[in-house]
Structure 1
């Protein structure tokens, strides 16, 4: 029998951890609690996040946002804010209007759903001029 190699175990854990995929990655420690606080700083958190999320945050058009509402996401109650926007690619061309759902856990931005599905059904979009005025 070969001796135990800690480096091999670490490699296995890192490899298997990657199997969760980007759709399951979160930024917060999701405790799974049902009673979630309202994300009071959602506007400033969204702007800070989208400054790095977008390839080119300058010149966003048609920015609309729905205030956070409680929705079921993966079987858990979460606050979700929905966005629509038309951002530029790195070459300056516009990519067309995209819809994203931003999920909050414990009042903090947790993840962005690139395919929001039912999470954004029936929300009331309002203009989001701060996203259109972003600079690098």
Structure 2
């Protein structure tokens, strides 16, 4: 029974050492994430417990922000996911961080990185299936 605990410890993170999917070399000059919509959609399909029935989906084109002391592109998404009992919460905002033009991680508390962004409908997210 120690194995699941050990594995979960590997996946845990705190604010000082966030989980990242890419090798962040710390390069300050970052390329624009050309396929950001497709990458965000693919990520959210696995991130959400139930990707079917998302409502009020919107996405903002990536903008450069300083995150963790480094200049990065951030795409903001806002949506209401279906809860396990079938209801919906108010739309929540999340920031998707890109490193070297590829999706790196999601930032749950996105108030600061998403301040002032312009959202557009994200119909692909609302049409997602399992």
Q: What TM bracket, shorter-length normalisation?
A: 0.7 to 0.9
Q: Which residue of 2 aligns with 1:116?
A: 110
Whichever structure has more helix as a proportion of its residues is 1
Matched, 1:46 2:40: yes
Runs of 4+ displaced beyond 3 Å? 14-20
Q: Answer with 1 or 2: which has the greater Rg.
A: 1
Matched, 1:76 2:70: yes
Which runs of 5 or more structure 1 residues have no equivalent in the other structure? 1-13
TM-score normalized by the length of structure 2:
0.87
Verify the 8 A CA contact 2:21 2:104 in the aligned structure 1: yes
Shift of 1:96: 2.1
Cα distance in 2 between the residues matched to 1:88 and 1:44: 21
Whichever structure has more strand as a proportion of its residues is 1
For the residue of structure 1 that corresponds to 2:112, the secondary structure is helix
Cα distance in 2 between the residues matched to 1:32 and 1:39: 16
Give the count of matched residue pairs.
123
**1:133 to 1:17, Cα distance in 2 relative to 1, 3 A:** closer
TM-score normalized by the length of structure 1:
0.83
Cα distance in 2 between the residues matched to 1:59 and 1:16: 32
